A and B are shown apart, each in its own frame.
Chain A
Amino acid sequence: IVMTQSPATLSLSPGESATLTCRASENIRGDLAWYQQRHGEAPRLLIYDAFTRATGTPDRFSGRGSGTEFTLTISSLQSEDFATYYCQHHHAWPKTFGQGTKVEI
């Protein structure tokens, strides 16, 4: 299953909202996770099962979608949110990731 993210880069200001898109090459139901990776750090799980926030994920992060199209919305960007975001399907083996969306100032 190929995961495609868009856009590659999103240039926004603090306080604005961000909407990131992830598309799967086939129907993955709601079997999608989102990760945040800050520069020089390991990825961190944000959301799983398309919309369930992981422990410690602020509620300004919200996930939606099912089937082949998914979105991650970050409302009111904070300075710590400027990072790269990856989606990953957990529908079948092998688990695959998208190529990432960088949210920059």
Chain B
Amino acid sequence: QAQLQESGPRLVKPSETLSLTCSVFDDRITDTNHYWAWIRQSPEKGLEWIGSVLHTGTTFYNPSVRGRISISADTSKNQFSLKLRSVTAADTAVYYCAKHVFTQWFGPWGQGIPVTVS
């Protein structure tokens, strides 16, 4: 099955932009049946789905971050990326990427990357 790997800076300053990339192995993000998602986890908010992208660029975002978020897909690299603007300490979390199967459930997941806003 697919393997996913998050990468990017682990420390971001307040008001700046958090940027992460998810590399997908042993699967193709061009599969038309599935989206690709970003989910974060913090002690305060628990697990929170923040957005999903189809390889065409179609996106769905959580209203909690709408206006600050953009997710894009790069089919040539089999990757998808997250940008979260104007971050605050409340955006500190472990960020996971995952396959969003039929836009329903999530699996498999990447190992997660901790990001601190400070």
| A binding-site residues for B, Cβ under 8 Å | 31, 33, 35, 41-45, 48-49, 54-55, 86, 88, 90, 93-100
B residues 92-116 with Cβ under 8 Å of A? 96, 101, 103-112
Bound complex: CA A42 to CA B22 (Å): 14
Contact A48 B46 (CB under 8 A): no
Looking at chain B's contact residues, is the secondary structure mostly helix, strand, loop, or mixed? strand
Contact B109 A43 (CB under 8 A): yes
Contact A96 B49 (CB under 8 A): yes
Contact B109 A86 (CB under 8 A): no
Bound complex: CA A49 to CA B111 (Å): 24
By a CB distance below 8 angstroms, the chain B residues around A97 are: 46-49
Pick the residue among A41, A86, A90, A93 that contacts B47 (CB under 8 A). Answer: A86
Q: A35-B106, A90-B103, A95-B49 are in contact. List 8 more A-B contacts (CB 8 A).
A: A31-B104, A35-B107, A41-B111, A42-B112, A44-B108, A44-B109, A45-B106, A49-B104
Bound complex: CA A35 to CA B41 (Å): 14
Q: Which of A43, A86, A100 has the most B CB atoms < 10 Å from its CB?
A: A43
